[in-house]
Amino acid sequence: MKILVSYFSASGVTKKVASKLAELLHADLEEIKPIQKYTNEDLDWRNKHSRSSIEMKDENSRSQIEKPIYDLSSYDVIFIGYPIWWYVEPRIVDTYLDGFNLEDKRIIPFATSGGSSISGSANHLRNLYKTAKIEDGILLNHEINETIFRKIIDGGK
Ramachandran region, residue 26 (left: φ > 0; alpha: ψ -120 to 50; beta: rest):
left
pLDDT above 80 (res 156): no
Q: Residue 58's pLDDT band (boundaries 50, 70, 90)?
A: confident
Residues 6 or more apart whose CB falls under 8 angstroms from that of 56 comprise 85, 86, 88, 90, 91
Q: What is residue 155's predicted lDDT score, i.e. its pLDDT?
A: 66
Q: Across residues 129-153, what is the average pLDDT? A: 81
- Distance, in Å, from the CA atom of 122 to the CA atom of 146, rounded to the nearest integer, reads 21
Q: What is residue 145's predicted lDDT score, i.e. its pLDDT?
A: 67
Asked if 46 and 109 touch (Cβ cutoff 8 Å), the reply is: no
Q: Across residues 60-70, what is the average pLDDT? A: 93
Asked which of 33-37, 43-47, 74-78 is least confident by mean pLDDT, the reply is 43-47
Q: What is residue 151's predicted lDDT score, i.e. its pLDDT?
A: 66
pTM of this prediction exceeds 0.75: yes
pLDDT digits (tens, 9 = 90+) for 67-124: 999 999 999 999 999 999 988 999 999 999 999 999 999 999 999 988 888 999 999 9
More confident residue, 24 or 29: 29
pLDDT above 60 (res 38): yes
